[in-house]
Structure 1
Amino acid sequence: MKLSKVILTGTVGLMSLSLAACGGGSGDGSSAGGGSQTVFKLAFNQTEDHPQYAAGVALGEKLEEATDGRYSVKVYPNEQLGGQADVIQNLSNGTVELMWVGAPVLEGFNSDFVVFNLPYMFDSTEAQGAVLSNTDALDDLYHSIEAAKSITVLTGVNAGTRNVYNSKHPIQTPADLQGLKIRVQQSDSQVAMIEAMGAIASPMNNGDVYSALQTGVLDGAENNEVTWDALKQSEVAKYYSYTRHLMLPDYLLMSTKALDKMSDEDQAALLEIIPEIQKLANDGFADFTEKSIEHATSIGAQFNDDVDVAAFKSLVQPLVESSVNENDVRKGLYQLVQDANAAHPAK
């Protein structure tokens, strides 16, 4: 069942929750009403300090309350359920019900997701938030991998602004990136982006970046301040330069098989909660970013905001135009972003 259709029945469904019979499920625990409780597993590849962990915990608490104890969520941080490739497969077959995932991963299932992953796409976090909250406009995209992968996208959240950091020197112009080996995510668009900006792209799992920086296999990487500091990369790559080249979302995914097992009323209850979870994740990320900057500064990291952003943006513009113009779906998503950028310009 499409989630957009569930929204239409949500108000009626939520009024009848207290009268509904206990839903089916794995019987992982006891509900408030004394029946069996289904506890969804939410996989997460970062630490308990991350705001998406807290948002996942809140999702479980709110879902348990809204469904009279029939459903809850347990968050498994630090890749306890495996790497993202393994978790995606388990999500697809229904043995894991939920996960937070980085946006580039979804390009492998539907390449149209690339539009929101292109460099210098969003002018502000407010513009990105407006797009990711537009559930009507994104309905088709968010349901587009259900048939092939049995995965539904529930929402997208802000995952910070990504910048370049390295162990050599501050980055001010594209010339400063020449010859530097920079880690990027394992995505064709990310490789093309960093190479257009002037560096040597080195796709790599994030868990391997610290040792690669420490041993000189890498000169640097690109990421937001939170991940850079939380994974201790700030210890071995102290020059953080505000190229502001990406504002990637993260997505909350759900196994379509698990979703379809929920009653219409419980699906409606889940959907009612999602905007709150989106806001919790977004607000928490902004706060966590400030704390990350403070900690990195205390251990000697150097921040550089004297960057020729216009020069970098010019270099990657052909990549953006080529990708956006590939089909009408991408053109429509791009226009959605442009409208949001006009309404929420950079401050």
Structure 2
Amino acid sequence: MRSSIPPSRRQVLAGAAATSTLAATGCGGLDRSLLRAADAQPDGYPTVLAVQEMGRLLAEATDGRLRIKTYAGGQLGNEKDTLEITVFGGLDLNRVSIAPLGSILPEAVVPTLPFLFRSTAHMRAALDGAPGDAILAAMEPHKLIGLCFYDAGARSFYTSKRPIYEPGDLTGQKIRVLNSDLFVSMVEAFGGDATPMAYGEVYQGLMQGVVDGAENNPPSYESSRHYEVAPNYSLTEHVMAPEVLVMSLRAWRRLAPDDQALIRKCARDSVPYMRRIWDERTASAMQALSDQGVEIIRPDRTAFAESVRPVWDKYLTTPKLRALAESIESVQVRNG
């Protein structure tokens, strides 16, 4: 299959793969202490800062024997590209959205289900607990080691004309969604017209009326300035699909058991750091939206959740997946 990675990126990744191969065999005197991490998000983004924090903790715990170098901003390709390279061992660590993993890992579809999580606290408790551990563990047969989950925020609808107070308000509206069958199914369950579109085209699409609305988390909605052309923000918080930090199984097997345990610990210890930054960014975005005069709507989510139950039936195709969803639903959180 012809690679879609541009030549410059392909050369970097090929070099990384060669380094991994030589390091695995102990040849060439190459530095096996440096772990290479990819992230499509730009420098300064919470997930990038979190992996850098993990690297600081790891270097501190090993007196510099193990270190992490992060390639942010999609330097090594988009998430689809870098995930493939990580599976084959050309990258050591990779922060990706959970959604792309759904094509190889059925369990990854479950956290993307609409209205699975009752709140951010519920999502965090579930992913920090047994359900999250089960999803991470399911990655190993696919040549990945799941290390931890990071937040990606709660996605909500925003529209240019008709505000969204209840599911029926989406009827007939053209809503931009990710290129995801599940997201298309969700919007259609509300009666909307799901329109997959590249993120960079959304502002113009809203301005020209190609789409009537879209959906995203507050920091993305605010930083993209989509509120300028779609000033009605309805906090449906319909999806809280997380990000995930994975490690190549090939790189993992080069490590001693003590170092494997240390990497797991440093990854987990980076999670509260990431969440603090994310929460601060979300609060700042909401304040900025309010200052800009955005109409912020807080609808009753019950009717929305009931409308998308058929979507669950469509994607929970096995008893195992349904049991995983039920285990997440059963997680109890105070005030969550």
- Is residue 2:82 matched to residue 1:90? no
Aligned letter for 1:141?
I
Q: Distance in 2 between matches of 1:223 and 1:293?
A: 13
1:144 to 135, 138, 142: 138
Match of 2:324 in 1: 333
Match of 1:183 in 2: 176
Instruction: Report how far residue 251 of structure 1 moved.
Output: 1.0
Q: 1:36 to 1:49 in 2, by over 3 A?
A: closer
Aligned letter for 2:221?
W
Instruction: Report how far residue 321 of structure 1 moved.
Output: 4.0
Match of 2:274 in 1: 281
Structure 1 residues 193-212: aligned runs within 5 Å:
193-212=186-205
Aligned letter for 2:315?
S
Q: Distance in 2 between matches of 1:217 and 1:162?
A: 21
User: 1:4-34 deviations in whole A, cap 9, x for unaligned?
Assistant: xxxxxxxxxxxxxxxxxxxx5799xxxxxxx
Match of 2:69 in 1: 74
Q: How many residues align?
A: 312
SS of alignment partner, residue 35 of structure 2: strand
Aligned letter for 2:189?
A
Instruction: Report how far residue 299 of structure 1 moved.
Output: 3.5
- Is residue 2:97 matched to residue 1:102? yes
Q: Distance in 2 between matches of 1:204 and 1:43?
A: 24
SS of alignment partner, residue 33 of structure 2: strand
State the identity %: 31
Residue pair 2:55, 2:68 contacting (<8 A) in 1 also: yes
Q: Distance in 2 between matches of 1:89 and 1:295?
A: 38
Q: Distance in 1 between matches of 2:290 and 2:24?
A: 48
Q: 1:201 to 1:343 in 2, by over 3 A?
A: same
Residue pair 1:97, 1:258 contacting (<8 A) in 2 also: yes
Instruction: Report how far residue 123 of structure 1 moved.
Output: 1.3
- Is residue 2:235 matched to residue 1:242? yes
Structure 1 residues 128-139: aligned runs within 5 Å:
128-134=123-129, 136-139=130-133
Q: 1:52 to 1:257 in 2, by over 3 A?
A: same
Residue pair 2:125, 2:333 contacting (<8 A) in 1 also: no
Aligned letter for 2:163?
P
Match of 1:230 in 2: 223
Match of 1:159 in 2: 152
SS of alignment partner, residue 150 of structure 2: strand
1:315 to 281, 286, 307: 307
1:270 to 263, 266, 277: 263
Q: 1:201 to 1:255 in 2, by over 3 A?
A: same
Match of 2:209 in 1: 216
Instruction: Report how far residue 322 of structure 1 moved.
Output: 4.5
Q: Distance in 2 between matches of 1:230 and 1:190?
A: 22
Instruction: Report how far residue 128 of structure 1 moved.
Output: 1.4
Q: 1:112 to 1:228 in 2, by over 3 A?
A: same
Q: Distance in 2 between matches of 1:266 and 1:332?
A: 33
Residue pair 2:51, 2:267 contacting (<8 A) in 1 also: no
Aligned letter for 2:296?
F
Aligned letter for 1:333?
L
SS of alignment partner, residue 75 of structure 1: strand
Residue pair 2:33, 2:67 contacting (<8 A) in 1 also: yes
Match of 1:47 in 2: 42
Aligned letter for 2:97?
G
Unaligned runs of 5+ in 1: 1-23, 28-34
SS of alignment partner, residue 194 of structure 2: strand
TM-score, normalized by length of structure 2?
Answer: 0.84
Moved more, 200-209 or 178-187: 200-209
TM-score, normalized by length of structure 1?
Answer: 0.81
Instruction: Report how far residue 319 of structure 1 moved.
Output: 1.9
Q: Distance in 1 between matches of 2:209 and 2:40?
A: 25
Instruction: Report how far residue 171 of structure 1 moved.
Output: 1.0
2:286 to 293, 314, 332: 293
Q: Which runs of 4+ in 1 moved over 6 A?
A: none
Q: 1:108 to 1:167 in 2, by over 3 A?
A: same
Instruction: Report how far residue 285 of structure 1 moved.
Output: 1.2
Instruction: Report how far residue 271 of structure 1 moved.
Output: 1.2
Q: Distance in 2 between matches of 1:210 and 1:88?
A: 28
Q: Distance in 2 between matches of 1:162 and 1:197?
A: 15
